[in-house]
Amino acid sequence: MSIETLGWNQHWNKSFTVHRDQGCEPGRILGQDRERYDVRDLHGESSAEVAGRFRHEARGPEDFPAVGDWVALRPRVHDGPRTIVAVLPRRTVFTRKQAGRETVAQIVAANVDTAFVVAGLDGDFNLRRLERYLATVWDGGARPVIVLNKADLSADAAERVAEVEAVAPGVPVCAVSATSGQGLDTLAPWLLGGTTVVLLGSSGVGKSTLVNALLGAARQKTGAVRECDSRGRHTTTRRELLPLPGGAWLIDTPGIKELQLWIDQETLEESFPEVTALATRCRFRDCRHGAEPGCAVQAALSDGTLSRERFASWSKLQREAAWLAGKQDQRVRAEQEARGRAVRMEHRRRTQRSPKR
């Protein structure tokens, strides 16, 4: 297998110039277990770990390699793990806020061409959740495709497709059954050789079954969902880059229990184009779409041309994005203050140690 089959092209070749001049070799991250990575390079597959200098200079978790990343590796000099010295700038990235109180980004997948946002056509079907995923995919630069799985279990699949198309204008929507194989051929246009696709979705939507169907082999463990709410348990426990028979690459991800946003407010314009278009017709530029006179958004809500559920979802995501921006500003200020304190302490230490004249 050549490195070109992994998706290496002229763009990556140009990005790698400075590292090539330093004697490094390119590789792509296939999987990750804590601080150890599975990487594919010119010599085949091997394990790798980041260099000490890389670890010291990293600003946060988002700087470390993620599945799908292209990296620069030191030349192999022994049989141990390869050493990662740099991550090439990402073309696209799927990022969410890391679980917990700390405002830190978590990279789920990098350098994907298409994101298959998978939802189940069962009791767990949720339009608002789809909107959240779409906003995150748009923000990362990938092309979204909505995959409605379990079509064989739904008596109203066509109605569901219409509902999704209404909240995701211009986004392809495919109704499939990973179990029976129904509709899987509709995914072929996004599974071309050398391209990378990531599967995103909650637990229980059938991502692992879909992976097995696309691979043509039962590689991923699957599990049943609860009858009461159609929710499932995590059967995929790690993110990994898998080769598909047609030459495409698939990043499978564990089911996401709660997708916490890591986007800016401008991204929501792409996810809610009808709200954005209405906002340009408001009387005031800084209209908050509440009780202001001449609000085109409120007028559309009153006459029914804009769904109240859709507007409520937009408002909620706007508030989350604003909250995140505030937290990020606080984090930046805290980091700047910490660096300033470190500089002052180092200056004081050197001053105290310098000999008196």
Same domain for 75 and 101, yes or no, is: no
DSSP track, 147-212: EEE-GGG-S-HHHHHHHHHHHSTT--EEE--TTT-TTGGGGGGG--TT-EEEEE--TTS-HHHHHH
Same domain for 244 and 311, yes or no, is: no
% of the chain residues with pLDDT over 90: 49
Same domain for 110 and 221, yes or no, is: yes
- Beta-bridged to residue 26, according to DSSP, are 72
Same domain for 23 and 169, yes or no, is: no
What number is the average pLDDT over the span 30-55? 91
State which residues form the domain around 123: 93-252
Q: What angle separates helix 296-303 from helix 308-353, to the nearest 10 degrees?
A: 140
Check whether 325 has a pLDDT greater than 60.
Answer: yes
Q: Note whether residue 257 is domain-resident.
A: no
Check whether 100 has a pLDDT greater than 80.
Answer: no
User: Looking at 47, 64, 87, which one is the last position of a domain?
Assistant: 87
Per-residue pLDDT of 235-277, as tens digits, reads 455 789 999 999 999 998 875 655 555 566 676 777 888 898 9
User: Looking at 65, 87, 109, which one is the last position of a domain?
Assistant: 87
**Domain count within the chain:** 3
Query: Residue 96's pLDDT is what?
Result: 75
More confident: 101 or 245: 245
Token pair 């129904």: residue? 182
Query: Residue 230's pLDDT is what?
Result: 45
What number is the average pLDDT over the span 106-115? 92
What is the overall mean pLDDT for the chain? 84
Query: Residue 260's pLDDT is what?
Result: 56
Q: Note whether residue 259 is domain-resident.
A: no
Chain centre distance of CA 7: 18
Backbone angles phi, psi at 219, to 5 degrees: -85, -45
Same domain for 99 and 238, yes or no, is: yes
More confident: 130 or 97: 130
When pLDDT is cut at 50, 70 and 90, the band that residue 223 belongs to is very low
Same domain for 245 and 144, yes or no, is: yes
Same domain for 80 and 193, yes or no, is: no
% of the chain residues with pLDDT over 70: 78
Same domain for 113 and 232, yes or no, is: yes
Query: Residue 290's pLDDT is what?
Result: 87
Chain centre distance of CA 189: 21
Same domain for 213 and 128, yes or no, is: yes
Same domain for 149 and 290, yes or no, is: no
Query: Residue 154's pLDDT is what?
Result: 86
